[in-house]
Amino acid sequence: MQDDVTIKRLYWHSRRGMWELDLLLIPFLEHCYPQLDEADKARYQTLIDQEDQDLFIWLMRREWPADAELRRIVQMIVDYAETTSNNQYRTL
């Protein structure tokens, strides 16, 4: 289990300069991240180290990351955003 400092750091780094990214990353972090296995948690941490422009392109499904590990976590975030019943992102 990760400590509160790690979660707070992830929350801080998940807040981006683009509102669209915040709407995808923050709910995923809050609702899905705690249940991820350690490998997927590491993938998420690697993902949020990427540039906003890349994240936007990937999370808006304009392109997929070349790296299979990043592609996996991007797909998980996109799937969550598209299937959650309390979904404010449908307008994106």
* CATH superfamily entry for domain 4-85: Flavinator of succinate dehydrogenase (1.10.150.250)
Extents of the domains making up the chain: 4-85
Decide if 64 contacts 71 (C-beta within 8 A). Answer: yes
Whole-model pTM: value is 0.83
Residues 31-60: tens digit of each pLDDT:
999 999 999 999 999 999 999 999 999 999
Residues 54-77: tens digit of each pLDDT:
999 999 999 999 999 999 999 999
**59 CB contacts (<8 Å, ≥6 apart)?**
20, 21, 24, 25, 74, 77, 78, 81
3-class secondary structure, 5: helix
